Structures are given as C-alpha cells and as structure tokens.
Structure 1
Amino acid sequence: MKDELTGPDMSQLTTVDATFLNAETGANHAHIAGLGIVDASSCPGGRLTPALVADLVRRRAHLAARPLRQRLVQVPLGLDHPYWEDDPGFAPERHISEIELPAPGTERQLADTVGRLHEQPLDRSRPLWEMVIVHGLEGGRTAVYVKVHHAAIDGVMAAETLAALLDLSPEPREVPDDDGTETRAPGAVQMLGTGLLKAALHPVRTAVSMARTAPHLDEIPGIASLPGIGVMSAFMHGALRRPELPPVPRPSAPPTSFNLPIGRRRAVACGELPLDAVKEIRGALGGSVNDVVMALCATALRQWLDKRGELEDGPLVAGVPVSLRRDGGSGEGANQVSVMTAPLAVHVADPARRYAAVRADMDAVKRRFVASSGSWLHEISAMVPAPLAGAVVRFALQAAPSFSLRPINLIVSNVPGPQFPLYLCGARLLAYHPISVITDVSGGLNITVFSYDGKLDVGVVACRDLVPEPSEVIDHLVDALDELLALSRETAAAPT
C-alpha cells in the first residue's frame, strides 16, 4: 500500500520522510550537511561568492529537483503528511551567505564555526537548505558548508544533488534547459479528502505493517536485544514458510558518556585518511573497505572509552545506514533507507582478533539484511496515524533517555564517492566532509566517512556537552590506521 494517494504531478512526504520532520525538538535537529574545502583561486576574481553560487544553483536547480527549489505545504488540521511543491518565489540568494574567519583561520576555528552553524534549524517556510561560504581558511582555502533537511534528501539524493552542481573540470559543462514543469500541491479540499480516506484505511494499513514487521523484529534496534525476540522471529519465518535466515548477534548497547540526553550545542571535527592505506589493509587482512572503516572506528572508540575508564567487557552497538534504492531508482519519497545494527568489538584488546571480530559481525548482519526486506523502518513509521505522528515521535525521543533505552550507541556511516577531482564554479573541491545527525535515541556521537579523490574524508559530529572535543576521535582514527597498517604488513611479510 503506497503512502501517496496522489497523481504523478503531486509529491507527498512518505511516513519515513515525515518522521524526520516530526523528530525535531529544541535539541534534536534532522538536517544533514557537508563541509567542502575548495581552492577558489581559479574563480572569477579569485573568490567564491554567494552571487556566483546562486547563479549556478538557479541554472541547475531543475537537475537536483526537490532539495533545492521545493517547499513544504502543510495539510489543514495536520490530518495528513505534508506535500512538496515548487516555491513560486524561489530565490537561491536567500539561501546563500558568506562569513570570514578571523586570522589565522585555523582548522579548529573552522570546526567551531561549523558546529555553531549545525546547531541552527532550517526555516520550514522555504526550500529546506542553506549554504554558507567561509573565507579566510589558512592556506588560502575556502570552506563551503551546505545543510539540507533529511526529510528532503537521503544519501543517494545528496550525491545526485552534488553531481548536479559540480563539474569534472574547471570549465562548467553545458546542461539541459529546464522544461518548465512545476510541481504543485493539491488544494486544501483535496488534501483533506485524501487525509480522511487514509484515516479510514489506517487500521488496515497498520495490520499489514504489523504482519510485515513481525518476522523481522530481531533486526530492529533495541527490540532485537529483548529476550525471546529471536525465537519469535524464527517462529514467524517458519509459520510463513519463509527460507531460514542467518542468525545475527544481538548485543545490548552498553551505557557510555555519549549516550545521555543531548543538548542544543554541537561540536564538529574533520579529518582524512589515505584510501590507498585502507585498501592495503583490506588486501592483507581480507574483507571490504567498509569492514576496515568499521574496524578503525572500533579501535578509535576503544581508545576513547579506555581513556575515560568506560571500557566494558562487551561491544558497542553501531547503527549503519543502508540504502534501499534498487538500480539507482528514486523510488517513493526522499528517504529510501534502513539501518543495520552491528556489534562494534571495542572490548577486544588484540588488534588482529578485533579486526576478525568486526569482519565476522559485519558479514553476519549483512547476510541477514540482504536476505530480509530491510523495510522495518518504513513499516513502523506507517503504523502511527499522521495526526498523531509528531507527538508520538517526540515523546519517544524524550522518553528513551528517561527509561535508559539505548537501541544503539552511535551511527557509523561509510558513503562511497567519486575517485576523481570535482569543481564548484571553477574552484577545485579538495575535500568533502559529511556532517550528519545526532539524536537522543541514536546517541550523541556520529562518525561519517566519504571517499573522495583518493582519501576518506571523515566528519564527526557530537553533542558538545557530552563530547566537547571530537577531534580526539579523529586522532584515534589516525592511530587506528597506523595500528592496522602495521598488522597488515606483518601479515603480508609472514611466511605462508
């Protein structure tokens, strides 16, 4: 059953899209961002300006579709999820600003500035994005902070939006003209009628979602660790005569100092790791680039926890976002994403055994995820009627810390990107650091990695009250890479 009962020219938020809107509180924001570092010397006048970028966005907004020029339209009485429509007053200039770092323009100054920018919610009365050009970064570089609401975009759509704005050379490419097609939300009467129809059908929808979700309860963060859930899921698979699924580890997320209620302030740190070194580790120790990234995070977090006397005798639990898009299709809604829960073997002291444990755990959860639908997030979101969804989601966010419910400890995400240089208005993109989301439920720490042009660009965002110096995590990731490199070279040199 689809989320939309609308025509092809109308675009409504799915239940998952709407959840990202409903989840926002004073401390929990649901926007994602990227921090690009560019060499603006080849721009006209040697400076990347808001006017220059606004002109680019105006000419290419139709290539990126929703995130750049569409705004929200609320349904009367909140009876249904909002719709998207093209903003008739769309003006890119309103979304782009510039600031200057005080001398000397250090990386720390930039990180503090980005942390403050990331604390601010987006204006829902216009398209849900903004860009800030940050001048004065040491080395003559310029930073570009771009923020988009998660209700409008997921990781795949973010990559598509970047591709629309960036070029393969300093010379901008020719792009097709806008065909003039506009998206308009339905009128108030039609929205109310559709909302009432959905309300009448909602009990049926809920029953269908419950039936679809029951066999996959052991994939859902938090629920998976409850006693008897594994047996119940296995029973449901047997009753439905479905193929037996591979078992997965079901650890409980232990308490940490970054799994407390988050505050309004954000702290950000960025770093980079050489992709060649990561591939060398993968070649010597086996696994995938993602396995290496997870092992690096396990080692870095082990060091961070050990320094604070918080290291326990079990793993952390990481939420790992996974795209559900098939064959590059856009599918329904902005967010075609689910989450795998994976043990992170911070408790294993020996580097070789820790790497092996991470590989084995990731293999188990991936095989299970591939064999199942991966749609539990969509189905659970669909069980709550639209008029109640906002209150239910916000209550869950507030109640989880009060009852010490920790479905996961943190989010760890690895996003593959292009391995060649890209250009923005003629300025070469030197690095692109993802700056993601933290919440009371997912934890006050998020590590996201984006591979670009021979590097892994790392972005760490945290609640400043819980993790005031996320740059420590970057330092520990560098140490972890050195440790695994040494291990991989010893392994490669050992006689067979």
Structure 2
Amino acid sequence: MQQLTGLDAAFLALETTNSTGHVGGVCLLDPADAPKPLDLALLTDTLAQRLPLVPVLRRKLLEVPLGLDQPYWIDDPDFDIEYHIREVGLPTPGSQAQLTEQLARLHARPLDRRRPLWEMYLISGLADGMVAVYTKVHHAAIDGVSGAELLTVLLDLSPEGRKLPPAEDFVAAKPPGSLTLMARAAARLAWRPVQTVQLAGEFVKKVPSMAPLVSPFIGEILGLNRGDGSVIPTTLGLAPSTPFNKKITPHRRVAFRSVSLADVKTVKNAFGTSVNDVVMAMCAGALRHWLIDHDALPASALNAMIPVSVRDEAAKGKLGNRVSAMLAALPTNLDDPEQRLAVVHEATKIAKAQQAVIPQGLVDDISDFAPPALTARAARVVFATGMMHRLPPFNITISNVPGPNVPVYLAGARMLAQYPLSVILDGQGLNITLVGYLGQLHFGLVACRELVPDIDTLAGYLIDELNLLLKAAAAKG
C-alpha cells in the first residue's frame, strides 16, 4: 500500500465531465524483423512478464472515507490484464489521419477508477505493415520523466528481448479497513496545527530567496528586453485571449510531426541558444501562423507553461509526480523568426531564474496539506465559475520529455517513433509535448476538437517554422 502525495491526488481532482487526467503515448513499430508476429496474445504475455517490475500497474485507488486524507494505491485482488490490453484494427492500409482520429477517440475516454488506472491498445492495419501501441496512464501515477522510465521497463534493446526473473504468483495484499484509514487520517489531521507552524516558518525563511519574483526593481524578471530598448511584459497570470483558451468539450483531436534533431541543433549552434529554445521558437511561429489564419492573433506575447522535472537521484525509478513549472513569454506577436528565437532565449533564461527560487519542498508540502475533500471542492468551484477559461494563467503547455537515444524494441518489433499525448483542461484547450528518440524530435499535439479543429494544419506549421530558422541559420553562416 502506498499513499498518494498531494500533487499526485491533485490530478484526480482536475477530472471533470470534459477533462481527463491521464497522459498517453503511441509507439509506432516495425514488426518486419520481429522473431514472432506481434499480436494481442504476444503483447499481453510480454507485459504480464514485466508487471512485477511496475507494481502500480496492478494497483487501484482506495479512497479515504469523507475525503479526509490523500487516497492510497492498493493491490487489486481482481486484477485482469486482459481488461487493460485491447486491440483496434484500422481499415488496411490505414493512414496517419485514420490513426490520429482513432487515437483522439481513445484518448478522450476516461479511465475507470475502480480498476488500475491504465490501458494499452494494439492498433493494426497501418500502411507498410506497421503497427502502433497506444498506452495511457493516469497522471496521478506518473509524470513525464517517470513515464519515460516506465517505458524503459517495457522496452528492450534487442528483438530477442531480455531474460527476466521468474515471476511469482501475484497475491494481493489485504487492504486496510475503513476504521484503519480513519485512524490514519485522524492522526494526520491532529498533526495539521504543527504542520501549519512548520510551513509558515519555512515560508518566512524562503521569502528572501523569493524576492526576485516580487521586487519592483527587477524589470528583467517581469519583462523581456527586445534588444531595442523596449520591453515585452510577461504579465504572469494575465494570459491574452486566444481561441483555444476557452471552455473545452469532451472531444479531442490529435496530430503528430517529427523533425530532425540535427536540424534543430544547426539552428541552436548558429544562434547560440539551446535545443529547447529552438523548440519554443518553432511553437511560437506555428501558433502565430495559426492565430493569423483565424484572425485571432493577440497584440501581446502568449504565456507558455513549461513543466520542469525536479526528480533527483533518490526519486529515480519511482513513479508519481516530481514536477515543478516555469512560465515563459512566447513571442507570437513578433513577425521575424530570428527575433522570436532571440526573445525565447531570453524568456527561458528569466523563467529558469524565476523557477529556481521557488523551493520545491515547500510546494510539495503545501499541495499535500489540503485534504482531498477540500481540494475537490475547490476544483469544482473553479471549473463551475469558469475561472480557468475566463482568466487563464497561461495559454499553452509545452513539454519536452526525454526519450531513449538507442534503438529499442517492444515485443520484438522495432520502435520507429514515439508520440506523446498529454492533458488539456478548461482554459487550456491545446497542449504540445515532444519526445526525443534516435536523432529525431517527435511532437504530439492534443486539443479540444471544437476549439482547434484543424490541429494537423497547426502541426504542419511547426515544420514550416523550423525551415525558416534553418534558412536564417544558413544566411548567418
């Protein structure tokens, strides 16, 4: 039995009739040289052998009565792997458009909280004999980095796989009764006054280090110098209005694109920035083009939220969430690609400085302080009043997740690409996440179907923007 942290449980509270709390990804596989045909039986057997390495896949939620404390992960005595692994066939030869349409429907469906919070789909019928495996896991169980670590457990370095220790028969541990849970919750509640004093003391001690966030003398923190003496304000918490910062529906659209990491590094080296800066500039240019198409380009820069892993060596290999976030200006209001990249470079430096002064331990303690009953009630109030889409704190989440840099195999089939699919919420109807693998960056875009119906067009603009930056890099060289 393992108790969720407050941050883990927060992803449960974010679920509504229109939003889900899981993250997903699709592996595009070439089974041509696999020792055995990749079918549902083989995929199920492969995963069954590895379940002991990932205990959370056989655990379900146990809520504390009255929501007085964070829930627990407990062994599911009725665990049924065949429920979690399913098969979908596309009409041969399935196109990428058919694949993304099917994935949009699968990604929109919420997970059943009465069971372990994950599902896996084998998708056959793709052109050229390719197959895809789509997996979704609730964000309460994993973040981006722990999800990448989970993937390494499921993948192999050769088509033949690897030798695993003999699996012992699974015997679910007996869950605690309601009285035990209430006693534990009561003990934690009794500790709240002491915890309040401790949190207040920690906050007071950290105030000096957080001064750069509030000092009136740090214009460079609250604004971005364009280079010509003018300033682009980040206006943190006051994101401009866009078509995708509105109330979402339960329906989704997804799109994929892949770019050469070598091309991205060519731009990076030419302008003295980072790979992530180039990615952010690509997103800024693509969003600017899309917003112009829809006659909806704000006069000011967009605000982007960038998840940041704070997973240290002690947390390596553990699931759950170890994340912070930083806000950075996304200069969609500038029409020159070089200038957008320059501003992004400065914006991310400032965002890193802002994020660095926020003590992560304090954030974790605060998120764990409120009981789920209070958190869930606060979330319902926020969504019911439309606060998230009336006053969005940022416009879009852009996340860069590490991936394997060597060829890997799933059930003997070689992985060609891995496209991530993340979460959207009211006021945040578009998400861009990417994963690096074998010399390429693989972008996965997720959006509310009604707010961004032409998401594939937006994805195509990412390629156009990289081409513009490559031309600028060539001219500079």
Could you tell me which residue of structure 1 aligns to residue 45 of structure 2? Answer: 55
Could you tell me which residue of structure 2 aligns to residue 93 of structure 1? Answer: 82
Question: Could you tell me how far apart the structure 2 residues matched to 1:215 and 1:313 are?
Answer: 39
Matches within 5 A, 1:2-13: 10-13=1-4
Residues 402, 175 of structure 1: alpha-carbon distance in 2 compared, 3 angstrom cutoff: closer
Please report how far the alpha carbon of residue 394 of structure 1 lies from its aligned counterpart in structure 2 after TM superposition.
2.5
SS in structure 2 at match of 1:42: coil
Could you tell me which residue of structure 1 aligns to residue 325 of structure 2? Answer: 339
SS in structure 1 at match of 2:279: helix
Could you tell me which residue of structure 1 aligns to residue 186 of structure 2? Answer: 196
Question: Could you tell me how far apart the structure 1 residues matched to 2:212 and 2:200 are?
Answer: 17
Residues 260, 208 of structure 1: alpha-carbon distance in 2 compared, 3 angstrom cutoff: farther
Please report how far the alpha carbon of residue 50 of structure 1 lies from its aligned counterpart in structure 2 after TM superposition.
1.9
Could you tell me which residue of structure 2 aligns to residue 36 of structure 1? Answer: 27
Alpha-carbon displacement from aligned partner over 1:170-227 (angstroms, at most 9, x marks no partner): 01111234577976643322211111122233344345446656898999xxxxxxxx
Question: Could you tell me how far apart the structure 1 residues matched to 2:317 and 2:175 are?
Answer: 19
Could you tell me which residue of structure 2 aligns to residue 126 of structure 1? Answer: 115
Question: Could you tell me how far apart the structure 2 residues matched to 1:380 and 1:398 are?
Answer: 24
SS in structure 2 at match of 1:467: coil
Could you tell me which residue of structure 2 aligns to residue 247 of structure 1? Answer: 221
Alpha-carbon displacement from aligned partner over 1:266-285 (angstroms, at most 9, x marks no partner): 00011111111011111111
Please report how far the alpha carbon of residue 376 of structure 1 lies from its aligned counterpart in structure 2 after TM superposition.
6.2
Could you tell me which residue of structure 2 aligns to residue 241 of structure 1? Answer: none
The one-letter code matched in structure 1 to 2:135 is V
Question: Could you tell me how far apart the structure 1 residues matched to 2:319 and 2:194 are?
Answer: 21
Question: Could you tell me how far apart the structure 2 residues matched to 1:214 and 1:290 are?
Answer: 34
Question: Could you tell me how far apart the structure 2 residues matched to 1:63 and 1:273 are?
Answer: 33
Residues 300, 403 of structure 1: alpha-carbon distance in 2 compared, 3 angstrom cutoff: closer
Alpha-carbon displacement from aligned partner over 1:90-130 (angstroms, at most 9, x marks no partner): 23222011111124311111111000001100011111100
The counterpart of 1:21, out of the listed 12, 16, 39, is 12
Give me the identity figure in percent. Answer: 41
Question: Could you tell me how far apart the structure 2 residues matched to 1:366 and 1:183 are?
Answer: 43
Please report how far the alpha carbon of residue 27 of structure 1 lies from its aligned counterpart in structure 2 after TM superposition.
0.4
Could you tell me which residue of structure 2 aligns to residue 4 of structure 1? Answer: none
Q: Does 1:109 align with 2:98?
A: yes
Matches within 5 A, 1:177-326: 177-178=166-167, 185-206=175-196, 208-209=198-199, 212=202, 233-234=214-215, 247-249=221-223, 250-251=234-235, 252-326=238-312
Question: Could you tell me how far apart the structure 2 residues matched to 1:36 and 1:214 are?
Answer: 47
Pick which of 87-96 and 284-293 moved more.
87-96
Residues 457, 330 of structure 1: alpha-carbon distance in 2 compared, 3 angstrom cutoff: same
Task: State whether residues 338 and 376 of structure 1, in contact with CA within 8 Å, keep that contact through their aligned partners in structure 2.
Answer: no
Question: Could you tell me how far apart the structure 1 residues matched to 2:395 and 2:420 are?
Answer: 19
Question: Could you tell me how far apart the structure 1 residues matched to 2:108 and 2:208 are?
Answer: 34
Please report how far the alpha carbon of residue 308 of structure 1 lies from its aligned counterpart in structure 2 after TM superposition.
1.4
The counterpart of 1:464, out of the listed 436, 449, 462, is 449
Could you tell me which residue of structure 1 aligns to residue 127 of structure 2? Answer: 138
The counterpart of 1:437, out of the listed 412, 423, 440, is 423
SS in structure 1 at match of 2:457: helix
Question: Could you tell me how far apart the structure 2 residues matched to 1:127 and 1:62 are?
Answer: 14
Normalised to the residue count of structure 2, the TM-score between the two structures is: 0.90
SS in structure 1 at match of 2:28: strand
The counterpart of 1:82, out of the listed 46, 55, 71, is 71
Alpha-carbon displacement from aligned partner over 1:6-36 (angstroms, at most 9, x marks no partner): xxxx310111111111111100111000011
Residues 407, 211 of structure 1: alpha-carbon distance in 2 compared, 3 angstrom cutoff: farther
Task: State whether residues 146 and 318 of structure 2, in contact with CA within 8 Å, keep that contact through their aligned partners in structure 1.
Answer: no
Please report how far the alpha carbon of residue 145 of structure 1 lies from its aligned counterpart in structure 2 after TM superposition.
0.8
Task: State whether residues 398 and 440 of structure 1, in contact with CA within 8 Å, keep that contact through their aligned partners in structure 2.
Answer: no
Could you tell me which residue of structure 1 aligns to residue 475 of structure 2? Answer: 490
Question: Could you tell me how far apart the structure 2 residues matched to 1:206 and 1:245 are?
Answer: 33
Task: State whether residues 263 and 463 of structure 1, in contact with CA within 8 Å, keep that contact through their aligned partners in structure 2.
Answer: yes
Question: Could you tell me how far apart the structure 2 residues matched to 1:462 and 1:349 are?
Answer: 25
Task: State whether residues 38 and 143 of structure 1, in contact with CA within 8 Å, keep that contact through their aligned partners in structure 2.
Answer: yes
SS in structure 2 at match of 1:440: coil
Structure 1 residues not aligned, in runs of 5+: 1-9, 220-228, 239-243
Structure 2 residues not aligned, in runs of 5+: 224-233
Question: Could you tell me how far apart the structure 2 residues matched to 1:264 and 1:233 are?
Answer: 38
Matches within 5 A, 1:332-371: 334-371=320-357
Question: Could you tell me how far apart the structure 2 residues matched to 1:19 and 1:470 are?
Answer: 28
Alpha-carbon displacement from aligned partner over 1:351-373 (angstroms, at most 9, x marks no partner): 11111000011011113323432
